[in-house]
Homo-oligomer: A and B are copies of this chain.
Amino acid sequence: MSTTTVVPLSEYMREQVKLADEALHRVVPADSHSPETIHKAMRYSLFAGGKRVRPMLCMEACRAVGRRVEGIETAACTLELVHTYSLIHDDLPAIDNDDLRRGRPTNHVVFGEAMAVLAGDALLTLSFEVLAKLPGVPAETRAALVLELASSAGTVEGMIAGQVRDIEGEKAEPTPERLHAIHRAKTGALLRASVRMGAIYAGATPDELDALSRYGEHVGLAFQIVDDILDMEESSEALGKTAGKDAAQHKITFPAVYGLDASRRMAEAELTAAHETLARFGDRAYWLHQLADLIVHRKT
């Protein structure tokens, strides 16, 4: 591809974060909207410096397919709504009991537990409302997007399944099978759905959807391996959340099961596999390649 037309990565990232944030500002009621407290609580966690990885994957998958791209930011931002809901609920005293997230006090520390439960519920609910009424998008596509997001967040092979297995895994033998079952559901499902939703929005063919699903699976697994490594190696200050919690809570992690070096090699292998899935998309997948690299080589 002609690299002269390509903006630097840092500029690209700034633009994409801006697109996702503008969409979030449009879909979430203002702080001043009654009842104010819940909208303040929702916005507090939404606009806390999230990297917008899921909306970016969604927007780029859509652009790689390319048949419909207008308005994708709105669909993409629902992934951030669901991701943020899951963080707020995970941080609750009854679950992970975490006081720090993205370098700031967690939602329940600021707004109290009752409001944090409701803010999570509200973000989840809003995500489906936004998808169901996406302007200018055929109803068949809107329904397919709702289905994709809901199943990726659910109890069968979705995020909640992973969260339950993670909680129960704290008392279980750390086997590779259990480790993969947790992470395929806990973080993998929503990252895979991010890519798939972009493809569905764009009207992907079954072959395109299949290739991008595999991209999402490889990137999702690499993401989790790197997350586990960072939790072990980096400081709380660098991560903006409490580091070393996995070991403290006896979580099943990739370094714990495979060791650090093997985990690093696994992440690189997943990255290579992710790149290979993109062959058919040529230049249109430029940023999907870049995002995969970034996810694996990030430091926070």
Chain A 100-119, CB within 8 Å of chain B: the 1/0 string? Answer: 00000000000011111110
Chain A 125-140, CB within 8 Å of chain B: the 1/0 string? Answer: 1101101110000111
Give the contacting residue for A94; candidates B112, B122, B161; CB below 8 A: B112
| A165, CB-defined interface residue at 8 Å | yes
| A92, CB-defined interface residue at 8 Å | yes
Q: How far is the CA of A154 from the CA of B144 in the complex (A)?
A: 21
Q: Say which one of A8-16, A30-38, A204-212, A264-272 lies at the interface with B.
A: A30-38
The oligomer's copy count stands at 2
Give the contacting residue for A154; candidates B89, B120, B125, B150; CB below 8 A: B125
Q: Is the pair A38, B147 in contact by a Cβ cutoff of 8 Å?
A: no
Q: Is the pair A121, B120 in contact by a Cβ cutoff of 8 Å?
A: yes
CB distance from A138 to the nearest CB of B (A): 7
Q: Is the pair A125, B143 in contact by a Cβ cutoff of 8 Å?
A: no
| A180, CB-defined interface residue at 8 Å | no
Q: Is the pair A94, B121 in contact by a Cβ cutoff of 8 Å?
A: no
> A95: nearest residue on chain B (CB-CB)?
B114
CB distance from A29 to the nearest CB of B (A): 6
Q: Is the pair B150, A126 in contact by a Cβ cutoff of 8 Å?
A: yes
Q: Is the pair B39, A114 in contact by a Cβ cutoff of 8 Å?
A: no
Q: Is the pair B125, A150 in contact by a Cβ cutoff of 8 Å?
A: yes
Q: Is the pair B114, A155 in contact by a Cβ cutoff of 8 Å?
A: no
> A145: nearest residue on chain B (CB-CB)?
B132
| A42, CB-defined interface residue at 8 Å | yes
Give the contacting residue for A150; candidates B118, B132, B151; CB below 8 A: B132
Q: Is the pair A164, B35 in contact by a Cβ cutoff of 8 Å?
A: yes
Total interface residues in chain A, CB < 8 Å: 53
CB distance from A127 to the nearest CB of B (A): 8
Residues in chain B near residue A150, CB distance under 8 A: 125-126, 128-129, 132
CB distance from A116 to the nearest CB of B (A): 8
Residues in chain B near residue A89, CB distance under 8 A: 117-118, 121
Residues in chain B near residue A42, CB distance under 8 A: 155
Q: How far is the CA of A6 from the CA of B269 in the complex (A)?
A: 68
Chain A 142-161, CB within 8 Å of chain B: the 1/0 string? Answer: 11101100110111101011
Q: How far is the CA of A29 from the CA of B150 in the complex (A)?
A: 15
Q: Is the pair B92, A117 in contact by a Cβ cutoff of 8 Å?
A: yes
| A163, CB-defined interface residue at 8 Å | yes
| A124, CB-defined interface residue at 8 Å | yes
| A167, CB-defined interface residue at 8 Å | yes
Q: How far is the CA of A265 from the CA of B34 in the complex (A)?
A: 30
Known contacts A38-B160, A92-B117, A163-B118; A147 and B133 CB within 8 A of each other: yes
CB distance from A78 to the nearest CB of B (A): 11
Question: Besides the contacts A129-B154, A139-B143, A146-B146, what 11 more A-B pairs have beta carbons closer than 8 Å?
Answer: A38-B164, A89-B118, A94-B114, A114-B167, A122-B154, A122-B155, A125-B150, A125-B158, A126-B154, A126-B155, A142-B143
